Structure 1
Amino acid sequence: MASVNMADVKRLRELTAAGMMDCKKALEESEGDFDRAVELLRLKGAKDVGKREARTASNGLVALKQAGDSAAALLELNCETDFVAKGERFQELAAQVVEHILDTKPADVPALLESVLDGKSVKEHLDEANAALGEKIEIRRFAVLEGGFIGSYMHKTDPQLPPAVGVLVQLDTANAQVAKDIAQHAAAMAPKYLNPDAVPADVIEKERALFEEMTREEGKPEAAIGKIVDGRINGWYKDFTLLEQAFVKDNKKSIAKFANENGVKVEAFVRFKVGQA
């Protein structure tokens, strides 16, 4: 078996994003033939696709596609390592898929996977990337906003990696600076819901039950528990709903007040962070 040098191994790894040992073995097996080594890695990747189903894809990126100021899509595409996340092929795949999402507006992830992109299903594109990159590649979620004025903000948690946080904000009236300010706020403060009315009833019931138990354990008078719990629920809204949160650039006003002062209404928002619910 031919010996290989680390420079060739590194070059093959950079080209294919395969593991270091897999690259070394492929070069040894191909007796230093670089093109043959690439083919061997591709074949190995195709065989290993099924084995990766149970593995965790907790790295990745958030991709954005906008069409003017009134339509935009966000996509969270996951992989297993940041090495693959910063690779050109992975990022090109994300760009292709998020553009396809904005063009076709599929109902959900299963519908997206079945939809056809450049003559193949999106799932087939993912399977090919899975085989070529040697990692589990999956679409976790996506969202599309249309209408009004849509601003966006993409944030890199590491300058060497693609964006890991993406936010869309939909306003009823065009105001690019306000949209950007609110999107940046949402990226930093991670609201879960737009406003109290948007919080599912079962979520509030769970929080209320928790606050009631906590208040009783604190020994508060039974007659006062309801009022105390209501206050704590209102505090929860200020933590987890966008419009009730204190504006990060001026904590004396809420996002709702900031928007109102600028003559706009926040209709909707989407915030994705890689690996986060």
Structure 2
Amino acid sequence: MANYTTADIKALREQTGAGMLDVKKALDEADGDTEKAIEIIRVKGLKGIAKREGRSASAGLIAAKVVDAADGQIGVLVEINAETDFVAKNQKFLDYADQVLTAAIDSGATDAEALAEVEVDGSSVQDLTDSMQAVIGEKIVVRRVGRIEAPKVELYLHRTNPDLPAQVGVLVGTDAKAAEAAHDVAMHIAAYSPLYATREDVPAEVVDKERAIAEETTRAEGKPEKAIPKIVEGRLGGFFKENVLVEQAFAKDPKTTVGKVVEATGGELTGFVRFRVGA
């Protein structure tokens, strides 16, 4: 029997993120040699990448950072998915996420496809991801990248579970004056998940669809024909209040709106990005 202990199994699991059975098999095959066991886990993992393609990866984390630029700041969010929470909090996975985030910042990549091709220490981010899948034994996906450039960028990360990395990430771009309200606005965005910053940002096809639904609903309720246009516009206004950031009731003071909070600073909000793992 191979010479290893329960502590060796635990240490190797923490180091690789692999399952207990895979770790024990690797240690048996390596006759207790940890370095050989890691290589066995990696080789077997590489062979299993194709088999994992169809699996669901809905756990994971949001990696994020704000850096100074020549004319302001740049904020970057990266959502990286894994299959289980166990892997999401594994130190190897966290270190890998930092590498991917750094690549996203340095390269200027604005989507996952472009980021996958970015070079990291002589290989690509995709190669790095494949290697991590091989070691950990789970499907790993760099799902999306968010990037904001503004005079000031506020970052807010929220842990939905204190034992896990951040599951929600928000970037808010403002000018210098509005920066004083940016943190509260970012927290509001994390909680209320607006889809658009202003009405002007809502695609015309979305507005047309919501108006059609409102009209159909109003007619089905048997409202008077003359009243229908006003009712439809009122319902469309409700859609904007629910989904447009500046029209939402402010989380810290529902008597006002996010837009009025920003206006009170004398500055302006230039944009935002919100990611939630798996959403």
Residues of 2 paired with 1:88 and 1:11: CA distance? 12
SS of 2:128's equivalent? Answer: helix
Residues of 2 paired with 1:214 and 1:242: CA distance? 25
CA shift for structure 1 position 107: 4.4
CA shift for structure 1 position 5: 5.2
Indicate the residue corresponding to 1:26 in structure 2: 26
Please report the RMSD computed on the Cα atoms of aligned residues, expressed in angstroms. 1.7
Tell me, yes or no, if the aligned pair for 1:246 and 1:253 is still in contact at 8 Å.
yes
Aligned residues: 276
Residues of 1 paired with 2:162 and 2:92: CA distance? 18
Residues of 1 paired with 2:51 and 2:17: CA distance? 18
Residues of 2 paired with 1:31 and 1:100: CA distance? 38
Listed as ranges, the gaps of 5+ residues in structure 2 are: none
Tell me, yes or no, if the aligned pair for 1:156 and 1:163 is still in contact at 8 Å.
yes
TM-score by length of 1: 0.94
Tell me, yes or no, if the aligned pair for 2:177 and 2:266 is still in contact at 8 Å.
no
Residues of 1 paired with 2:57 and 2:253: CA distance? 37
The equivalent position to 2:205 in structure 1, one of 196, 202, 205, is 202
Residues of 2 paired with 1:262 and 1:147: CA distance? 17
Q: 1:175 to 1:237 in 2, by over 3 A?
A: closer
Residues of 1 paired with 2:27 and 2:99: CA distance? 31
CA shift for structure 1 position 130: 1.1
Residues of 2 paired with 1:186 and 1:103: CA distance? 26
Residues of 2 paired with 1:254 and 1:78: CA distance? 34
Fraction of identical pairs, as percent: 47
Residue correspondence of structure 1 range 1-277 to structure 2 within 5 A: 2=2, 6-68=6-68, 70-276=73-279
Residues of 2 paired with 1:226 and 1:254: CA distance? 26
Listed as ranges, the gaps of 5+ residues in structure 1 are: none
Residues of 2 paired with 1:233 and 1:218: CA distance? 16
TM-score by length of 2: 0.93
CA shift for structure 1 position 101: 1.5
CA shift for structure 1 position 122: 1.1
Aligned-partner residue type, residue 247 of structure 2: E
CA shift for structure 1 position 27: 2.3
CA shift for structure 1 position 36: 2.3
